[in-house]
Structure 1
Amino acid sequence: MSPLRLLGRWTGFSGQDSVKEEEFNPRVHLNYVPPQKKITMQDLLLNQRSTASPIAGTTPFPLLSPKGVRAYRKALFQQDVLDKCASSPFPGTLVLRDAVKLSKFIRDFWTHPETMRIVSEASGVPLEVVMPTEIGHTNIQVEGTTIPEMTRNLRVEPLVEKVELSPEDRAYDPLTDKSSIIPWHYDSYPYVCVLMLSETHGMVGGETYIRKGDGEAQKVEGPQIGYAVMLQGGEVEHLAARAKGVKERISTITSYRSKRPNVYDSSYITNVRPYADLDSLYPEWAQYRLRKLRDETTHYLNKVEKGSGSAFQREELESIINQQIDYLQRTARQMVPPKYQEQIQEKYGKAAYYDAFRIWETVQSLPEFERLASSTDQNRRWMPESVYWMDLQQSIERIRMGKPPDSTSRNHPWPNSRKYYMGDELLGQGLNEVFLDWLESSGLWDLYCKR
């Protein structure tokens, strides 16, 4: 018997049988009211890329009814979901991932045509879920230091008990405090819907801040219980403030991409690899990327067939082919071998993985930086037969031609004030674990640790 089941006996926590989920019914569980405001890229003084929606995000809007909130919490707190989907990156935080594969309610809610219509309408573009593993990723702030302790404090009925705020809590400023849940970043996927499943009255923090084109931060109020916000997180840099003053904070997130053809799909899985089951993630990733490729090819073929007899557009076809080649290469590069990923994570830890950009910035200030980085790249002392060397040469050639190097990760723009190194290439591709491996081979990791 699992520790969580034993825990249920000791505390009276509802087990799987007594927290049986309901059947999703949009007439009962939805309570949609359109957002009062849609924040545009223009509002934020940001340039809109041709492949992006003009809508950067929305203010919070009602999505689930009170019955819908409780039904969703019931589905989350099934014992099977807690046993198989719970992990804890650090004390006080519980993550439930892949619950959609065990809960019919969660799957039916997020994939129902009415829900899909709502999120598409709010975003100003027809959307589809990226892949099953990105449905209903749930983050829980709750008291406790271990998974059983945190699980013991979960109830189907939302907690209303408050935590007394200290003067420091009331003065909390996520823009200067380093304790934000997630610092400034771009999302791994183009669009996200964030749904709140907890009471927020009396809560301090919990908002999202968006970086405007002039460098200023614009606050978007966090959603109330049953409310959601849409964000084009792959296009706008944003920060998630930590919530204070409440016993629990449960938010659930689903990621999307545009259904429109000829729209660039900026998705990558750098942020997901360290905690995902790669044996499950990679097949889903490959299938969704291949479906995108199929849809693009079919769209172009239909266009050509309908226009039969017109002049053949060789340049257009060549451009489409090159785009798909690049798309397939990015797809393959993101699937870092599981054993290699595991070895790197054990050696350097998750903290170094997620801190790779700051580590790179720090390393560049070391006296030996240019000599060691140049020597490693020129002599190919690291992985001499790797395909990454070909990627590096292609990027260097783009720079020579006056074009910026391609970058999967918007989090790592090349400064264009020095030589372009393999470290830039690997971080630009979102290959943080491979970057750490290269960094050690160059001797820069040891210098970083000894600085």
Structure 2
Amino acid sequence: MNPLKLVKRWSWGSTKGPEEKEETFDPKVHLDYTPPSKKITLEDLLLKQSPTASPIAGTVPFPLLSSEGVRAYRRALFQKDVIDKCASSPFPGTLVLRDAVKQSKFINDFWTHPETMRIVSEAVDVPLEIVMPTEIGHTNIQVEGTTIPEMARNLKVEPSLEKVELSAEDRAYDPLKDASAIIPWHYDSYPYVCVMMLSETEGMIGGETYIKKGDGESQKVEGPQIGHAVMLQGGEVRHLAARAKGVKERISTITSYRSKVPNIYDSSYMTNVRPYADMNTMYPEWTNYRLRKLRDELTHYLDRTEKEQNFTQATEEVQDLINNQIEYLQRTSRQMVDPEYSQRLVKEYGKPAYYDAPRIWQTVRTLPSFEELAFSTDDERKWRPDSGYWMDLQKSMETIRRGKPLQSVLGTGVWDQTKRYYMGDELLRQGLNEVFLDWLGCTGLWEVYGKL
């Protein structure tokens, strides 16, 4: 890159306050794209590629926004309507903005523009489309303040250059050993994500992403600097996001995608977002997106059969098509846990337990009373006896009996037939963490676990 261009690109001029009217997105002005210098493959990570995955696990950071683009995006993001209607704060010093796309035309036009879509698709070698509007530009803000108004007052269009004095403990920070990772080891709810940085990162410690390799080791992917982005096939690779230290602000924004390729398994689920999403907004969008996917699959099949001369219909192929769509519709339905039921359980058991449910299950299975309590609950259907989850359990047990793989929110695998498969396994397989906690409470195992 031309050094003069670099100087021009990151020379910040004076800017007005965030109350200034947002700009109209123009890719010639607001983009400054350079393709990623390296793409990381699943093979590089010693991971097997599933039939539905791209061979690209992710990219190194690459330039995406110009300096004008960063300022324009921040100006759009910090508008009063966006803060008033989209902000929440899980804890002091952290601001989360969801659905900003519905308050800002600039943000919507940036993420949905054909040029932006071309860039993200080429980065992972797969044509992508945005999952749904509510997953456009999910923004995480790390800034000083204890309330939303206080944090909002500390947000300026001009990126902050202020640094925070680092302690010896900060300098020794190791996200692989420290429990304070901003997002612990996890898979994303959606197949692909683009993470874009809107803050200065010079002098920052942390902020990287670590990917779990097939040999159990961790590979670090450097966090993007201001105006840069990184692509990750987060639904396929287990990863961790390290906490950033040493800067006054850190603003990253994330948009989620799925593949547009027909006959590709869509692994999306809503486990990660149900505890904090507005279900009244999310469920209708989820339904529409899933039905569009179903429509596209059927249209693709019909187009092929109608265009092929002397087409001979294979009964097995048609049956697979129908079975796949039935399963897809059921998975679509199961993810829409009743909002009142879901919120009550998250409040009762707590968000930490919700997100830690798989690890809790591993611990619970080692308890002396586990077999007796879990078996009696399942055998006598003491928990929600009329629920459709019991049919799901029987179907999964039959799949195991036949030695076939089970598709889980954590990937595909063959169940060890020497181990009994419980309702707890089935609910976690579907990513129904709050429902799992409800079942665990009914068995009496939650009470035993709480005494450890």
TM-score normalized with structure 1 length = 0.95
Q: Which moved more, 1:282-291 or 1:358-367?
A: 358-367
Q: Which moved more, 1:402-411 or 1:241-250?
A: 402-411
Q: Which moved more, 1:384-393 or 1:302-311?
A: 302-311
Question: Equivalent residue of 1:293, what SS?
Answer: helix
Letter in 2 for 1:153: N
Identical columns (%): 73
**In 2: Cα distance, 1:335 partner to 1:52 partner:** 25
**In 2: Cα distance, 1:253 partner to 1:291 partner:** 23
2:126 corresponds to which residue? 125
- Asked if residue 45 in structure 1 is aligned to residue 46 in structure 2, the reply is yes
Question: Equivalent residue of 1:90, what SS?
Answer: coil
Please say if residues 208 and 242 of structure 2, whose CA atoms lie closer than 8 Å, have aligned partners that are also in contact: yes
| 1:139-288 alignment, distance < 5 Å | 139-288=140-289
Letter in 2 for 1:108: D
**In 2: Cα distance, 1:416 partner to 1:100 partner:** 47
| Deviation of the 1:414 alpha carbon | 6.0
| Deviation of the 1:41 alpha carbon | 1.0
Residues 17/61 of structure 1: CA separation in 2 closer, same or farther (3 Å cut): closer
- Asked if residue 90 in structure 1 is aligned to residue 100 in structure 2, the reply is no
2:337 corresponds to which residue? 336
Letter in 2 for 1:73: R
| Deviation of the 1:214 alpha carbon | 1.0
| Deviation of the 1:410 alpha carbon | 3.7
Please say if residues 189 and 255 of structure 1, whose CA atoms lie closer than 8 Å, have aligned partners that are also in contact: yes
Ranges in structure 2 where 5+ consecutive residues have no aligned partner: 1-14
| Deviation of the 1:119 alpha carbon | 0.4
**In 2: Cα distance, 1:345 partner to 1:237 partner:** 24
**In 1: Cα distance, 2:412 partner to 2:325 partner:** 23
| Deviation of the 1:19 alpha carbon | 2.8
**In 2: Cα distance, 1:424 partner to 1:147 partner:** 39
Residues 67/15 of structure 1: CA separation in 2 closer, same or farther (3 Å cut): closer
| Deviation of the 1:415 alpha carbon | 6.3
Q: Which moved more, 1:307-316 or 1:129-138?
A: 307-316
Letter in 1 for 2:160: L
Q: Which moved more, 1:347-356 or 1:315-324?
A: 347-356
Residues 182/364 of structure 1: CA separation in 2 closer, same or farther (3 Å cut): same
Q: Which moved more, 1:365-374 or 1:130-139?
A: 365-374
Please say if residues 55 and 124 of structure 1, whose CA atoms lie closer than 8 Å, have aligned partners that are also in contact: yes
| Deviation of the 1:408 alpha carbon | 3.0
* Cα RMSD after superposing both structures: 1.6
2:9 corresponds to which residue? none
Question: Equivalent residue of 2:219, what SS?
Answer: strand
Please say if residues 405 and 412 of structure 2, whose CA atoms lie closer than 8 Å, have aligned partners that are also in contact: no
2:3 corresponds to which residue? none
1:398 corresponds to which residue? 399
Please say if residues 129 and 260 of structure 2, whose CA atoms lie closer than 8 Å, have aligned partners that are also in contact: yes
Please say if residues 185 and 411 of structure 1, whose CA atoms lie closer than 8 Å, have aligned partners that are also in contact: no
Letter in 1 for 2:321: I
Q: What is the aligned residue count?
A: 438
Q: Which moved more, 1:14-23 or 1:308-317?
A: 14-23
Question: Equivalent residue of 2:408, what SS?
Answer: coil
Residues 64/321 of structure 1: CA separation in 2 closer, same or farther (3 Å cut): same
| 1:425-436 alignment, distance < 5 Å | 425-436=426-437
| Deviation of the 1:213 alpha carbon | 1.1
| Deviation of the 1:94 alpha carbon | 0.8
TM-score normalized with structure 2 length = 0.94
